[in-house]
Amino acid sequence: MICFLGRALLALTATALLASAAAGTAVARGPANQFAVGSAKTDVNMVIMTDAEHASFSAHSSGMGCGATGHIVYKNMTMALAFEANINVLVIDPMTNSAFFEGVITNVSQGSPDLVGDVADFDAHDSGLPGGKGDTFLFEGPAGLPLSFCATPLLGHPITSGNIVIKTGS
């Protein structure tokens, strides 16, 4: 929730800045061969419970700004939430080997069906170590509206099983 509120504030600021920019500014092209794929299971020990989540995803850059194609299946046992989303935003940070991706929720199998049509934001990090050791994953939460800027990836929770692979295109 904190990540979402921080991103929401950044989105409002970025929207105001973009609105003041000159019309017709070209969108930067990212390498079309960038991608983030993987599966992740995290078990985060909280004060009163353990938050367990699973995700399986594949996101590929379209080569136009932070546009992407892909899909994610996500389940959070603690939140009693499970859904699928079509990924349409991917930002790869080659310095940290991390990715931010966003997708439109298309199907909710557990939780509120009102989430269909909302967007969900995620972050993933590839440590480069074998077997997913040191990889992290984060579900930032349903964001409602899509971000109006290409967000910087955040570090997430260490995965307990799975493997994340991020290709930076460099």
The pLDDT of residue 93 is 94
Neighbour tally for 149: CB within 10 Å: 18
- In the block, tokens 């939780």 appear at 111
What pLDDT score was predicted for residue 123?
A: 96
pLDDT at 33: 78
Q: Which residues of the chain have pLDDT under 70?
A: 1-32, 45-50, 170
Question: What global pTM score does this model have?
Answer: 0.78
Note the pLDDT of residue 19: 31
Spatial distance between the Cα atoms of 169 and 66, rounded to a whole number of angstroms? 13
CA 53 – CA 34 distance, rounded (Å): 25
Return the DSSP state at 114. G
pLDDT at 115: 94
CA 133 to chain CA centroid, Å, is 20
Helix H or strand E encompassing 76? strand 67-76
Concatenate the DSSP letters of all residues of 33-54 into one string: T-EEEEEEEEEEE-SS-EEEEE
Give the tens place of pLDDT for each residue, 111-145.
999 999 999 999 999 999 999 999 999 999 888 88
Cβ neighbours, 10 Å, residue 118: 19
Looking at residue 26, its pLDDT comes to 31
pLDDT tens for residues 155-168?
A: 999 999 999 999 98
pLDDT value, residue 132: 93
67: Cα separation from own chain's centroid = 13
